[in-house]
Structure 1
Amino acid sequence: MLNERQLITVLQHGLPLISRPYAAIAEQIGSTEQEVMEYITAMQARGDIKRFGVVVRHRNLGYQANAMVVWNIPDDRVDELGGCFGKFEFVNLSYRRPRRLPDWPYNLFCMIHGHDRDDVLRNLAQMIDSCHVGDMPHAILFSTHCYKQRGAVYIHDQINGNDHLTNKSDIA
């Protein structure tokens, strides 16, 4: 019988980069690959898992510069323009956030990656031209520091002094 807590604990640390990651997870928690996949599907259907995504470490791939571009977009155009921004391969996220008036008028955010600062600015110019947003107020916020990237942590297990499940023998 699959233990949901053990499955979530393992999943929150990411999938192994192998051809059958669910089989490896199943072995780690004493289950089957099929049961793990079915349980993940059920958790998604219930809304327990809202997003299953990838954390890309862009710097490891040669992308040394990035900027969050924030936009003040008319509310009735946010979905349209967010979709336009998201079509570019150099944009890895585009999302809406509430304005915080009067100090922060921006409601649409997108992260643009490039090999260097000039590359980011060229990419932004291409996006502005293609999406016809040259007249929209925006600010370009270049990153100055790269923090550790990881997914959300929902369960902290203190097994053998670790804050995550490391192998099958660690399961209590």
Structure 2
Amino acid sequence: MSAQDAAILDAIDRCLVIATQNGLPLVARPYHQLAEAIGIAPEEVMARLTRLLESGVIRRIGAVPNHYAIGYTANGMSVWDVPDERIDELGVRVGGLDFVTHCYHRPRRLPEWPYNLFAMVHGGSRTEVLTKVMAIAEIIGTDYRSHDVLFSTAILKKTGMRMAVRRDD
């Protein structure tokens, strides 16, 4: 967050960001629980989060599932070398698949790394992941020069940037 972004946050915004940066409460009405904890109306919680999201102060509000806990024990990042002029079109098509959880464009690092399209696939087994990757290959067709699948070997804790709690908060 830049100094300019920090300047637009009032005390309630700061409390809200700090209260949600580790995730929303796992209850039926999380915005209501946050509202009660902060001392504002649930509608104000939702309006403030919407404003913070639209202004770019926060990037997203979403679920981060534990893939292992829901049965997806094989996780493969498929990487593709596709023509740069087709990356947007192919990215939209691949990213629209129901089994692709992340799809994005990354720069090549030639000569060692020719891949520029990344698509994350989860499955119950490596065979399932590879089957899904072949479905991606069918969609991309002859537009890929090479591809690979990088399977996860460890579970890493995913956290984003955190706002520091000041002593006066």
Find the residue that maps to 2:16 and give its secondary structure.
Answer: helix
Give 1:80's aligned residue.
Answer: 89
Q: Which runs of 5+ in 1 are unaligned?
A: 160-170
Matched, 1:114 2:113: no
State the alpha-carbon separation in 2 of the partners of residues 74 and 25 from structure 1. 46
State the alpha-carbon separation in 1 of the partners of residues 123 and 55 from structure 2. 38
Find the residue that maps to 1:3 and give its secondary structure.
Answer: helix
Point out which structure has higher relative CO (alpha carbons under 8 A, 6+ apart).
Answer: 1
Are the aligned partners of 1:2 and 1:35 in contact in 2 as well (CA < 8 Å)? no
Give 1:148's aligned residue.
Answer: 157
State the alpha-carbon separation in 1 of the partners of residues 120 and 142 from structure 2. 16
Are the aligned partners of 1:23 and 1:32 in contact in 2 as well (CA < 8 Å)? yes
Letter in 1 for 2:72: Y
Matched, 1:130 2:126: no
Give 1:32's aligned residue.
Answer: 41
Matched, 1:53 2:53: no
Give 2:53's aligned residue.
Answer: 44
Aligned residues: 160
Q: Deviations over 1:96-131 (max 9, x none)?
A: 111222222211111111101111111111221233
State the alpha-carbon separation in 2 of the partners of residues 130 and 62 from structure 1. 26
Aligned CA RMSD, in angstroms, stands at 2.1
Residues 113/21 of structure 1: CA separation in 2 closer, same or farther (3 Å cut): same
TM-score, normalised relative to structure 2: 0.84
Identify the match of residue 12 of structure 1 among 21, 29, 32: 21
Q: Percent identity?
A: 41
Give 2:3's aligned residue.
Answer: none
89-98 or 1-10, which deviates more: 1-10
Are the aligned partners of 1:2 and 1:30 in contact in 2 as well (CA < 8 Å)? no
Q: Deviations over 1:7-43 (max 9, x none)?
A: 1011111112333211111112222211111111111
